[in-house]
Amino acid sequence: MGSTSSEPVNPQRPQLNSPKNINDERRRKFPKWNNLRKKLSRGKSMFRTFDHGKMLRELTQTWSYQEIVALVDHYRSLMEIKDSISQMNLTRPHVQPLKKDMLDLLQKGMCSDVTLIFNGVKFPAHKSILSSRCTYFQELFLQWDNESSTEIPVNIPVDGISVEMFSTLLQYLYTGDFPAQTSGLDSLDMLMELGEEFGTPNVLEQDLKGLLYNADHADVLLVFQGLQPPDIKENTSLTETSFEVPCHKAILCARSPFFKSLLLKQDLNFSTSKDSGCIRLVLDERVFPRQYARVVLQCMYTDSFDLSSVVKWSSEEKKGCGLGTHNLLTMAEIAMEVYEVAKFIEFDVLAQGCEDVLQEELSPSSLLGIMEWSEQPHGSVWVSRQAQQYLQDEFLTVAQSDAFHKLPKEYLVNVLQSDYVQACEHDVLLSVIRWGESQVAKKMQSMPDTIQDGKRTVKRRDIINKALKKELAGVINNVRIQHVLPLHSDLLESAIDRRLIDRGMPLDIGEGSFYPSCPWMRRRHDKDFVKPRYFLPYYEEAKRILQEYKDTELRLLKQRMLRLGQSIPDTLYMVSETKDKRRGSGYPKDSSRSVTNLGYCSGRRSCSNDLGLYCRSRRSNSLSQAERLFSRSRAQRDFGLPDVASEVLFQDDEESTSSSDISRFDKSMPGPTTRNPVCSSASLPLAVAHVPDVASSLSPSPTLSE
């Protein structure tokens, strides 16, 4: 009776409906899958920040100077090629701006609704454009509004206006610029009078924008008839009505070849509005949605547009799927649809503007959608090139995002085949493995821990590795394993252990020039060489290493030249300013009748020895006081002389190169001509003047005339 206390909670009782128990059961059933999911959740943390400069410096520490130069030249060539490719990818066909289209409209007289007569010359024009640009023509057209004639005479109350000047004035009103050639409107006084009479117009784009929004002299109505979806009842709030936008036939024909061919066809009978008499041009909203009408017309009238004002729901809601949700299109999706409308009406200015918007909207989250759209037949080839360039430049940023796991295999292979991926090969290999694991995880979630393969039981881990290798086939081959840094990477060893990479691949990474196959340097007859990618941190560090090599070589060269310069004797005194004195007594008068004189050769040899003594004496005299004191103390130390003897030697050293050496040098001068008298210490410059004669007379075969 009282034993009902055990009823409230029984810890041994299974709770099948508890989410916690269900999760625990899944963990026990699929432990390997949970581990794989944990690895994927912390995938971003595996991208460590490496010191790329340090790794490249460790790689090249045993390289020679020539190998460093070759690596820098390789990176420099790839950088120049990359810049050329980037400039080529930015090229697009030239489009005519608004001013050029307006000038063609005036010169061709297309869609003109009035003819101006000035001095007997007719000028086809357009009331809407001239009225928005000039108050004089606005008042003139109001005066002739009740007349049925389209020809209106123009009388300008300014003296000296010719037909050429009037044509220039119309061109200015249509384009906002005066022609480059001389128009006659160069006088300041005449321009001031014209400004007082006609008024000063605003900027062309501002006046045309006012013309669009005011709808003055509008002659065309763009009609957008709402399509009632079959899945939605008529009484719902999503019922759409027709929508009309007034515009001008001349502007449409000048800017769009589509509207030009449509409005100028003679065999088409358009319906007109009963109230305004404008042509009603009905457009299909499946091709030209009404949300983009203002954007397209604004670009036609002003050459500018703003997509931020467009608000458009996704196509799913418009079909009636999910009325409770509010899925607004992103800026990139709106730009895609406006681009398709611009290409349909052949309006290239707006199409290129949408391409610029898509380029600015490139991000890791929008990259996949833009790439898939650009590959479609209605997409943009230019945007596709910019998306691929973005993926190459921001590969590491995209690889760390969730959108990278959704990247199709062909897109990944395409970017890995490029030489300009801005990521080190270690991060490229890691990204590829993470991408493969995410693809395998989608297929292996429901697989049990062990699988019976015939009589053999296969572990789920082995199945995952086999599936991963199969998934990465054709992808991991584009990873340049030879250039993975740091050396002996754990990631590389793990990939080899998992058999994602064959051991037969060359893994002898960067051992210097003495290594038989350095994968960073192309060797002769090396057919399997794969060049390194252009990675900017590696290039910058390679340039710094090369500059350090150059600085070291320059310092060594300076030190070597300094030591070599101290041992070179000073022989500048042997240079003479006058070359005529060199033809002295030592040279024969007639070289055709000369014989060798052995006495003369021996005299020249002794003269050369005396010249060496003279050079040494000159060098000793040029020593400073400190050097002389050093030499005196050295003589005293080496020979054990007293201080008095060293002072006597010092006095003798000061009186060197006196008359004894110079006279002995001068007396040894042979030759038939008269020699100069013996020089004293006061006549030292005269003795120096004779030194070039002796030096120049030293020849391999001295001769004398008979």
Instruction: Name which of 49, 47, 56, 46 is nearest 485 in CA terms.
Output: 56
What pLDDT is recorded for position 98? 94
558 vs 507, more confident: 558
Summarize pLDDT for 472-485 with one digit per residue, the tens.
Answer: 999 999 999 989 99
Q: Compute CA distances 372 → 108, 380, 388, whole Å.
A: 42, 11, 11
**Edge-to-edge strand order for the sheet containing 243-247?**
243-247, 220-224, 279-283
Residue 194 has pLDDT above 90, yes or no: no
Question: Which residue in this structure is represented by tokens 């014989």?
Answer: 595
Residue 230 has pLDDT above 60, yes or no: no
Residue 38 has pLDDT above 80, yes or no: no
DSSP annotation of 579 reads S
* Residue 121 · residue 162 · CB < 8 Å: no
Confidence bin at 258 (pLDDT 50/70/90) = very high
* H/E stretch holding 558: helix 536-566
Residue 537 has pLDDT above 80, yes or no: yes
What pLDDT is recorded for position 497? 87
Mean pLDDT value of segment 49-68: 89
* Residue 439 · residue 36 · CB < 8 Å: no
Instruction: Name which of 487, 488, 491, 510 is nearest 501 in CA terms.
Output: 491
Residue 529 has pLDDT above 70, yes or no: yes
pTM for the whole thing? Answer: 0.69
Q: Which amino acid is it at 670?
A: P
Residue 694 has pLDDT above 80, yes or no: no
What pLDDT is recorded for position 674? 39
Query: Could you tell me how far CA 464 lies from the centroid of its own chain?
Result: 41
- The listed range with the strongest mean pLDDT (103-117, 239-253, 519-533, 576-590) is 103-117
428 vs 634, more confident: 428
Please give the structure tokens belonging to residue 332: 């990139």
**How large a percentage of the chain has pLDDT more than 70?**
62
**Which of 227-231, 254-258, 458-462, 535-539 has the least mean pLDDT?**
227-231
Residues linked to residue 279 through DSSP beta bridges, in sequence order: 220, 272
Average pLDDT, the chain: 75
Q: How far apart are CA 439 and CA 446, in angstroms?
A: 14
* Residue 607 · residue 695 · CB < 8 Å: no
Q: How far apart are CA 603 and CA 620, in angstroms?
A: 26
Instruction: Name which of 588, 543, 292, 536 is nearest 424 in CA terms.
Output: 536
Q: How far apart are CA 601 and CA 588, in angstroms?
A: 14
Q: How far apart are CA 655 and CA 645, in angstroms?
A: 16
**How large a percentage of the chain has pLDDT more than 90?**
37
Angle at CA 576, nearest 5°, toward 572 and 579? 145
DSSP annotation of 253 reads H
Cβ neighbors of 91 (< 8 A, separation 6 or more) are: none
* Residue 164 · residue 183 · CB < 8 Å: yes
User: Residues spanned by CATH 3.30.710.10 within the chain?
Assistant: 98-202
| Gyration radius of the chain's alpha carbons | 47
In this structure, what is the dihedral angle of CA atoms 681, 684, 686, 691, given to the nearest 10 degrees?
Answer: 130
Angle between helices 381-393 and 65-89 (to 10 degrees): 150
Phi, psi of 10 (to 5 degrees): -120, 105
| CATH homologous superfamily, domain 98-202 | Potassium Channel Kv1.1; Chain A (3.30.710.10)
CATH of domain 218-228+237-302: 3.30.710
Give counts: helices (H), strands (E), the chain.
29, 10
Residue 28 has pLDDT above 80, yes or no: no
Confidence bin at 512 (pLDDT 50/70/90) = very low
Mean pLDDT value of segment 39-52: 58
Q: How far apart are CA 687 and CA 182, in angstroms?
A: 81
Helix (H, G, I), strand (E, B) or coil at 246: strand
Q: How far apart are CA 526 and CA 301, in angstroms?
A: 62
What pLDDT is recorded for position 442? 81
Residue 116: count of CB within 10 angstroms of its CB: 19
Q: Which amino acid is it at 531?
A: K
What pLDDT is recorded for position 503? 65
**Which of 18-27, 99-108, 135-144, 437-446 has the least mean pLDDT?**
18-27
Question: Which residue in this structure is represented by tokens 């196509």?
Answer: 315
Residue 123 has pLDDT above 60, yes or no: yes
Phi, psi of 596 (to 5 degrees): -80, 130
Q: Detail the DSSP E strand segments found in 340-495.
A: 450-453, 456-459
Summarize pLDDT for 410-463 with one digit per residue, the tens.
Answer: 999 999 999 999 999 999 999 999 999 888 888 776 555 554 444 455 455 666
Cβ neighbors of 325 (< 8 A, separation 6 or more) are: 317
Instruction: Name which of 188, 180, 190, 126 is nearest 157 in CA terms.
Output: 190
